[in-house]
């Protein structure tokens, strides 16, 4: 039997909320990766009415979750991970971003978020792409292995035959001019 203590702690799942820096009084983010609007009291000279806060429904945009938020009549479409990270990890310094620890970019629980430099993120993404093995080239014509496999400076896997063919077409076009 494994000691269940750690697992019990991590699956407690008590949802806690913190204000989001820059959106205090409007939006809050939870440790479980959700964002909610805060109850607002709006008043004019005639009456005061309340606007109930609610949990926002994120939309999927290129494998990441975005939410639509509105402050003082301006609506913006923002990465949910950025808002949650700012609330729980702090505002990233210049040249840094909120990044996901696992490859699942939709897992916005705070244990899956971290602050990384743009440079570190680039290196990591390059490594991940390198690990993804596609065995034929994008055009589906040549094997992406052996001498035909080229790895460029960004770490992406490229087809030597397609690159040579493209270079040939370019040279022919230049000669024809």
Give me the residues that bind Zn ion (CB under 5 A), please. 137, 141-142, 159, 161-162
CB of 56 to Zn ion, least distance (A): 44
Closer CB to Zn ion, 36 or 142, in the complex:
142
CB of 144 to Zn ion, least distance (A): 8
CB of 145 to Zn ion, least distance (A): 12
CB of 142 to Zn ion, least distance (A): 4
* Alpha-carbon distances of 28 from 13, 14, 111, 166, rounded to whole Å: 17, 15, 17, 51
CB of 166 to Zn ion, least distance (A): 10
Closer CB to Zn ion, 73 or 146, in the complex:
146
* Residues 6+ positions from 23 with CB-CB distance below 8 Å: 69, 71, 83
d(CA 11, CA 111) in angstroms, rounded, equals 12
Closer CB to Zn ion, 123 or 162, in the complex:
162
Report, in angstroms and rounded to the nearest whole number, the Rg of the chain calculated over CA atoms. Answer: 24
d(CA 165, CA 98) in angstroms, rounded, equals 40
CB of 140 to Zn ion, least distance (A): 8
Residue that the structure tokens 């040279």 belong to: 171
65 conformational bin, left if phi > 0, alpha if psi -120 to 50, beta if neither? beta
Closer CB to Zn ion, 40 or 141, in the complex:
141
- Containing 89, the helix (H) or strand (E) segment is helix 80-89
- Containing 168, the helix (H) or strand (E) segment is helix 160-176
Closer CB to Zn ion, 51 or 136, in the complex:
136
Closer CB to Zn ion, 112 or 148, in the complex:
148
Structure tokens at 171: 């040279």
């Amino acid at each position: 039997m494994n000691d269940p203590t750690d697992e019990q702690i991590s699956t407690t799942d008590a949802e806690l909320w913190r204000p989001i820096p820059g959106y205090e009084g409007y939006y809050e983010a939870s440790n479980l990766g959700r964002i909610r609007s805060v109850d607002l009291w709006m008043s004019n000279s005639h009456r005061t009415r309340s606007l109930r806060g609610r949990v926002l429904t994120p939309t999927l945009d290129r494998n990441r979750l975005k939410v639509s938020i509105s402050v003082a009549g301006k609506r913006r479409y923002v990465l949910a991970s950025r808002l949650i990270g700012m609330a729980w990890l702090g505002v990233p310094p210049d040249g840094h971003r909120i990044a996901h620890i696992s490859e699942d970019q939709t897992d916005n629980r705070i244990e899956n978020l971290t602050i990384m430099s743009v440079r570190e993120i680039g290196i990591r993404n390059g490594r991940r792409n390198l690990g993804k093995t596609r065995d034929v080239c994008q055009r589906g014509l040549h094997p992406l292995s052996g001498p035909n496999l080229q790895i460029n400076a960004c770490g992406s896997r490229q087809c030597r035959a397609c690159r040579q063919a493209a270079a040939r077409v370019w040279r022919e076009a230049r000669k024809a001019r």
